[in-house]
Amino acid sequence: MNHKTHKHSEEIRRFILENVEDHRGDITPVTAERFGISRQAAHRHVTHLVVSDLLIASGATRSRAYAPKPLADFSVQFPLQGLEEDKLWRIHVRPLLENVPVNVVGICQYGFTEMVNNVIDHSEGTMLAIRVKRTYKLIELWIMDDGIGIFTKIQRELHLDDALHAILELSKGKLTTDSLHHTGEGVFFTSRMFDEFAIFSGKLFFAHLYDKDWLLEDTKEIYTGTAIRLKMSPRTNRTTQQVFDQYTTSGDHSFSKTNVPVFLATYGDENLISRSQAKRLLMRFERFKEIILDFNKVDSIGQAFADEIFRVFRSGHPGTHLTPVNANEQVLKMISRVTSKM
């Protein structure tokens, strides 16, 4: 096999491994169509991956399905008392990430140890469970506890109205219920380092997926305590330093810039129209030099809401720069209306 043929084969097999989870029963025809090769040729590549122990085949010939073979699937539970996050990482998690690029290991270490440390210091629970799942395509880390629940904890310690307000505060960063021992940066930066970051706690599910934020509220409890899921591709070029740098302003090496999803200031189907809603959004803004206000999922805002943010707050805090993004025409018009009075 010459170099060009070998490279093409590698490309085909990489495609199969990256797409088989979405095409378990039809990965062969999908691959054939993608690369303009026969089904027999595509099937030979699939078979090669099965023989190489990277895919698992199941079912009869006519209904055969394929799945990525786990490179790791490990679960363990510990009592929280006396637990040390660095030892947990070094003994139980790091050995499962052999041959993973250094930048990816660095992200996994940062996210895992930060989340475990939060459980130890803040959860008020008694047990910690972890799970590590790894395939060719994905690294998945779970950190779970039986404590009070992260949103309930924030709500209680910061005297907020409810758990939804806690999620808004958490999304801003620099949030801690113990400022003497924590900077409040761990959850924020972990959510930006991984491809997918999700928290299940109480009746709420909050996720930051590929730079988008999602919030779901159920009528019944989703998870007692807190469960955090971290997912990422082992082939990402991202580094911890790149993420840190993304949230620093020019000439400043501190965490001075943040991105706030404005829709989290809403409850249910309410509109963002009042000054009280704006003040809820503005809470702790003065701790940052630059704030990106993401208006994705916000259809409209009221005059009082816009005025409180873009005129009153700006006038009182000239050292904090506000930048709206992903705003539709109505939102931009309202912002323009209030700033024209400055």
CA distance 28 to 308: 57
Q: Domain ranges in the chain? A: 3-68, 72-240, 247-339
Mean pLDDT of all residues in 190-218: 92
Q: What is the DSSP string of 258-273?
A: EEEEGGGG--TT--B-
CATH of domain 72-240: 3.30.565.10
pLDDT at 129 over 80: yes
Gyration radius of the chain's alpha carbons = 24
CA distance 162 to 159: 9
Mean pLDDT of all residues in 55-70: 86
Find residue 145's DSSP bridge partners.
128, 226
- The pTM (predicted TM-score) of the whole model is 0.85
pLDDT at 180 over 80: no
pLDDT for 60 equals 79
pLDDT at 179 over 70: no
In single-letter form, the type of residue at position 67 comes to: A
Which option is the CATH number for 247-339: 3.30.420, 3.30.1490, 3.40.1130, 3.30.750?
A: 3.30.750
pLDDT one-digit tens code per residue, 277-325 = 999 999 999 999 999 999 999 999 999 999 999 999 999 999 999 999 9
- Pairing assessment for the beta strands 290-294 and 257-261 based on DSSP bridges: parallel
pLDDT at 331 over 90: yes
Does CATH place domain 3-68 in 1.10.10.10?
yes
